[in-house]
Amino acid sequence: MTTPPLWTVADMAAAMAAQRSGPLPDSIVGLSIDSRTCSAGEAFFAILGDRLDGHDFVAKALANGAALAVVSAARRGEFPADAPLLVVLDVLEGLRNLARAARARSPARIVAVTGSVGKTSTKEALRIALRADGETHASTASFNNHWGVPLSLARLPETARYAVFEIGMNHAGEITPLVAMVRPHVAIVTTVEPVHLEFFPDVAAIADAKAEIFTGLEPGGAAVINRDNPHYERLKRRAGAAGVKRIVSFGEHPKADARLVKYALQDDGSTVEASILGTLADYRIGAPGRHFVLNSLAVLAAASLAGADLALAALALAEQRPATGRGTRTDLFIGDGRALLIDESYNANPTSMAAALAVLGRAPLGARGRRIAVLGDMLELGAAGAELHRGLVDAVAASTIDLVFCAGPLMRALWDALPAERRGGWAANSEELEPQVLASVHPGDAVMVKGSLGSRMGPIVKALARRYPAPAASDDLPVRG
């Protein structure tokens, strides 16, 4: 099947005020900023990043089949005269201009998501819920920063009925220019928690930064806010100050507009009964954890506000699965038995760590199995870092975790607070902790690995998968335990 054009080159050039150079195609089918994954027929944007300059990879992108490259005028002389190029003053600003053009031409109903925790999973749940009612475009992975948002927006097809964008920040003022491009009809704040405290004086300041998302709402748009969060009233006031007239709350609070009535957690998902803007909905979520249950209320409220069919959206949530590094599950084959590996290694903060420990606490075990948490430092917590790590001891106890392995200087605070019988091992970093973990996993265990990206817990997940791979295909695989 032929991929439909995303942009004509004429429209791209006009949107970016670009000069055309070399033999150019009539249209392109996609946009890329990574020469390694740039596909045939796509436009490669040579963005200057923190470590690398995309101009150094233009030749590779074109060799891989890119239809053209977008380069800066200052670097044009480095490429052959017959190279297919669109030349702009600044490549990132060119991408932003293309994103604005995509938004201007789109008839889609748009939802934007921010929050201290749960942005990506909520965005993915919205993708699933909305596509049950029509063509839906959504950000890839966690493309939620100064280049990820414009790239995701510029990829918005003109034919999409709905679109979902994740917007992140770790400093005040970062959301405002991004939401001004996206101009959503619905804006969600999942929650406000002590995340990125290194860059803020307190959590109230984080709430104010998250509330910037309301400044870009389209006239008549709606704000969806967590009623259970202690900063609800602050967020509500900020939304009102931004001119938002429709403010919708979600949570367990008895006055929440999208209210949780009851739910049942299982190790592979949850069943939920909720009142969504006055309509009763019974549905199943295909991802385990109470945090998915609560955020589903925001998802269904937003879907309804965007004009989607609520029944179809609720039914579709059974398809939701944890994203890579955010709760994905793999069997480890150890001798004649199995252990369960839960990969939460993508990132961590105190709230998501407690949620992940709660999920581990419900994970199935085999005979003589143990629940094992392998935890790396949670970063960007500022002066409160040691205290917040130490405070995880309560979540460990509440989730009946049997053994805890800790990596990093901040996790030493948790290690010191743990009772002796729950101490699995501590090391200065994940590389040194890895052999301790590999040697400790037994058949029947459930192992969860989590930490901030900078604590590098992902390699432990990969090492476990390599050490205990699935056997060759067989009709008689062993059961876990």
Cα–Cα distance measured from residue 62 to residue 82, given in angstroms and rounded to the nearest whole number: 12
Contacts of 93 (CB under 8 A, 6+ apart): none
Contacts of 394 (CB under 8 A, 6+ apart): none
Please classify residue 349 by burial: count the beta carbons closer than 10 Å to its beta carbon, then call 0-12 exposed, 13-18 middle and 19+ buried: buried
**Residue tagged 């970062």 (tokens):** 174
118 among annotated binding-site residues = yes
119 among annotated binding-site residues = yes
The two beta strands, 68-72 and 42-45, are: parallel
Cα–Cα distance measured from residue 356 to residue 361, given in angstroms and rounded to the nearest whole number: 9
The two beta strands, 19-21 and 85-88, are: antiparallel
How many Cβ atoms sit within 10 Å of the Cβ of residue 158?
A: 14
Residues 433-449: b if buried by 16+ CB within 10 A, e if exposed: bbebbeebbbbbbbbbb
> Can you say whether the dihedral through the CA atoms of 322, 391, 272, 310 is positive or negative?
negative
203 among annotated binding-site residues = no
Residues 361-395: b if buried by 16+ CB within 10 A, e if exposed: bbbebbeebbbbbbbbbbbebeeebbebbbbbbeb
Q: Do residues 445 and 340 lie in contact, with contact meaning Cβ atoms separated by under 8 Å?
A: yes
User: CA of 465: how far to CAs of 1, 230, 334, 462, in Å?
Assistant: 36, 40, 11, 5
Q: For residue 319, give the amino acid letter.
A: E
HSE, CB side, 13 Å, CA atoms: give it for residue 211.
21
120 among annotated binding-site residues = yes
> Can you say whether the dihedral through the CA atoms of 94, 95, 100, 103 is positive or negative?
positive
240 among annotated binding-site residues = no
Cα–Cα distance measured from residue 442 to residue 339, given in angstroms and rounded to the nearest whole number: 7
Q: Do residues 157 and 193 lie in contact, with contact meaning Cβ atoms separated by under 8 Å?
A: no
The two beta strands, 328-334 and 403-407, are: unpaired
**Residue tagged 């060759």 (tokens):** 472
Cα–Cα distance measured from residue 29 to residue 410, given in angstroms and rounded to the nearest whole number: 46
End-to-end CA distance of the chain: 46
User: CA of 464: how far to CAs of 277, 363, 437, 439, 456, in Å?
Assistant: 45, 18, 8, 10, 14
Q: Residues at the annotated binding site for ATP?
A: 115-121
Q: Residues at the annotated binding site?
A: 115-121
